[in-house]
Structure 1
């Protein structure tokens, strides 16, 4: 048995407590073939999305290149060929939904409306959530809320992640 040290333990370095994790939030694609995760960009140290084939981490490829604000929340689309993430560009909490096409390595803002916020089931918020975002029956579509009509309420839309087509599903009367 050892006796307690009379010296206090060494301080924990700030980067250990508050720095970026090497890998964060891993998620397996719906088809089970790929893993996505957040990791720091080698140049900017900003958290971005990376993808690799299951079983071969050495095949990892960075698929987003955010240089200022880190990606914090993302989700696979049911297609297994797209990733979706929400991003607040200027710290004003006007979050937009971005879709990454893994085949073309392009990212598109699918809710590019000024002063409009997107609400998704995978984006934590104090407002209500839409419980079911995606469906394997409609793999190219997601259900989102947008406060486009009225900043105080979110109407429910179906968004086609490839074409960007929005279909209104329900108007929020303001009481929910």
Structure 2
């Protein structure tokens, strides 16, 4: 018997015994595929040392921070009536988050808190206006770009929010047809998209001191990536 035939028989025997093994493959319950996750929205701190996430507790989402090296877990919020709909790191030690009531999106309750769960401060207090973070990159170690309809309830303007004292300064005013705003890698507002219901126009400016200029217009027949 040649070496090749011996090798082939050994492979066939191994396959035969493997197929007749008494070990059974564990059956995964169907319910495991439909379980709701109790943790979501993971974010890593800029220094890579801490992990934040939202965790469902008593049917409300609260904010937690975990030390990656030690596994130490700290609960930052203990909400009863509202859920946290957004959170982000703004420095190695600080996070921002905002709450929302059920059925009310982009509520203006924006807070900043350190990763130890201390020094919590509310940054926005205008209950009649809606506000959300446009860019979670901290500019000059104190500013965030946010969208708010505090000037006109029908449109959202772009503001620079000072996370240290809560002051807001308008950066770009929405004439009524802007549907999206975009920043560059430094957090500067450089692009916008306007719409007349059929056509979309991309607007651009070199710096925040200049006016937006149209650079391209497309409609439902074309897609621009």
Go from structure 1 to structure 2 and tell me whether the alpha carbon gap of 1:11 and 1:28 turns closer, same or farther (over 3 Å shift).
Answer: closer
* Equivalent position of 2:115 in the other structure: 102
Alignment RMSD:
2.6
Counterparts of 1:104 and 1:18, CA distance in 2:
30
Q: 2:97 aligns with which of 85, 88, 107?
A: 85
**Number of aligned positions between the proteins:** 152
Contact 2:83 2:101 (C-alpha < 8 Å) held by counterparts = no
Go from structure 1 to structure 2 and tell me whether the alpha carbon gap of 1:116 and 1:52 turns closer, same or farther (over 3 Å shift).
Answer: same
The structure whose Rg is larger is 2
* Equivalent position of 1:46 in the other structure: 60
The answer to whether 1:113 aligns with 2:126 is yes
* Equivalent position of 1:65 in the other structure: 78
* Equivalent position of 2:47 in the other structure: 31
* Equivalent position of 1:4 in the other structure: none
* Equivalent position of 1:124 in the other structure: none
* 1:42-66, Cα deviation, whole Å (9 max, x unpaired): xx34221111222221x11001111
* 1:51-102, Cα deviation, whole Å (9 max, x unpaired): 1222221x1100111123332321111x222211222135322522222233
Higher relative contact order (CA closer than 8 Å, sequence separation 6+): 1
> TM-score scaled by structure 1?
0.72
Counterparts of 1:51 and 1:75, CA distance in 2:
11
Alpha-carbon shift at residue 159 of structure 1 (Å): 0.8
* Equivalent position of 1:164 in the other structure: 166
Task: Extract unaligned runs of 5+ from structure 1.
Answer: 2-8, 122-131
Task: Extract unaligned runs of 5+ from structure 2.
Answer: 1-18, 20-27, 179-225
Q: Which structure dedicates a bigger proportion of its chain to strand?
A: 2
